[in-house]
Amino acid sequence: MKKIRVGLHGCGWVSDEHIRAYLKNPHVQIVALSSRRESSARAKRDQHDLDCDVETKFEKLIARKDIDAISICSAAHCHAKEAILAAKAKKHMLIEKPVALNLKDLKAMRDAVRRAKVRTVVSFVLRWNPYLRMVKSIVDDGTLGKLFFVEGDYFHDYGDWYTGYSWSRTKKMGGSPMILGGCHSIDAIRWLTGDITEVMAYATRGHRKDLEWLPSIVGVAKFKNGAIGKIGCSLEMPMPYQFNLLIHGSKGVIRNGKFYSATSFPGQTDFADVPTILPDSGDVTQHPFEGEINHFIECILRRKESLVNLEEAVKTHEVAFAFDRSARTGKPVRLPLLK
């Protein structure tokens, strides 16, 4: 089987996990690293002992004939422009989230990828978390029955420990807490429950004055299948990272690693702990990038669409934008936003 020749753009925190995962895949050759600062790309190349080229212009990276696929790991406000250029260059791409900070850019990149017919994966990496994959299996096989009430929360004490703090704390480059972090909860809830048709949200500021956007938001959602839910996000929580997931069905309940179903297990009197790996860390080194990268490469080699391609990610981003719009206007917002 041939090797997929990869170029990686953006040499910050998350790029390490992309590189480590690519190096473990026998069907990948890393051809070049790219960063607007040459020193950053060279340092990353030396750190991982790579035999590859260094580029300082994204345009030069995607113009290379010896590159089949791109990892876009740059700052969030650059993703849409870079994805559009990569699509025009016929490069398959793995795009870090958020992929866009507004609807106009989201539509433009979606349309560019449609025209180019390249393979895409958007880095909602928690879809490869063992706990979430277990929950997905239990939901799909009907063990929980009909889902009717779901909840998801993304709580983090966001700060200058993050290398992208200086730009992501701004409205122009970071967007909002739902776009930056809450989109992981939205994506998990959507993956498990289905498409969302309407939302209503409220946002506030608790105590963090350094963040340009309101750092705490909570919203309710209606789902196409009749279920309702609540999704919350706060990036000013003075506590360890917390990713809550509660799934209530007609035959059972899952609450953060605990399972209850008197239908499946007659005589059960309390929640049972299910030993697994929970999504309980905001550190990217704890996230399952190896599964995501292997999936990306498999989609290219086998010419198949991803379970989390750009088309799917557009729906998750639309919900985040809808929550933000509702919080601004005080009115419910119907979905989809893009026609």
pLDDT at 148 > cutoff 70:
yes
Q: What is the pLDDT of residue 163?
A: 82
Give the DSSP per-residue string, 50-76.
Answer: ---EEES-HHHHHH-TT--EEEE-S-G
Query: pLDDT category, 164, cuts 50, 70, 90?
Result: confident
Q: What is the mean pLDDT of the chain?
A: 96
Rounded Cα distance between 30 and 64, Å, is 13
- H helices of the chain, in order, are 15-24, 38-47, 58-63, 79-88, 103-116, 130-140, 165-168, 171-174, 177, 183-193, 289-301, 310-329
Q: What is the pLDDT of residue 2?
A: 83
Residue 280, Cα to own-chain centre: how many angstroms? 15
Structural domains of the chain, with CATH: 4-125+289-307 (3.40.50.720), 126-282+316-334 (3.30.360.10)
Radius of gyration of the chain (CA): 20
Note the pTM of the prediction, 2 decimals: 0.96
Cα end-to-end distance, the chain, whole Å: 39
Q: Mind listing the pLDDT tens digit for each residue in 205-246?
A: 999 999 999 999 999 999 999 999 999 999 999 999 999 999
Provide the percentage of residues in the chain whose pLDDT is more than 70: 100
Three-class SS state of 323: helix
Q: What is the pLDDT of residue 1?
A: 67
Please check whether residue 215 is in contact with residue 234, taking contact to mean a CB–CB distance below 8 angstroms: yes
Q: What is the mean pLDDT of residues 128-150?
A: 97
Q: Mind listing the pLDDT tens digit for each residue in 59-106?
A: 999 999 999 999 999 999 999 999 999 999 999 999 999 999 999 999
Q: What is the pLDDT of residue 335?
A: 98
Residue in 68, 69, 99, 97 with CA at minimum distance from that of residue 83: 99
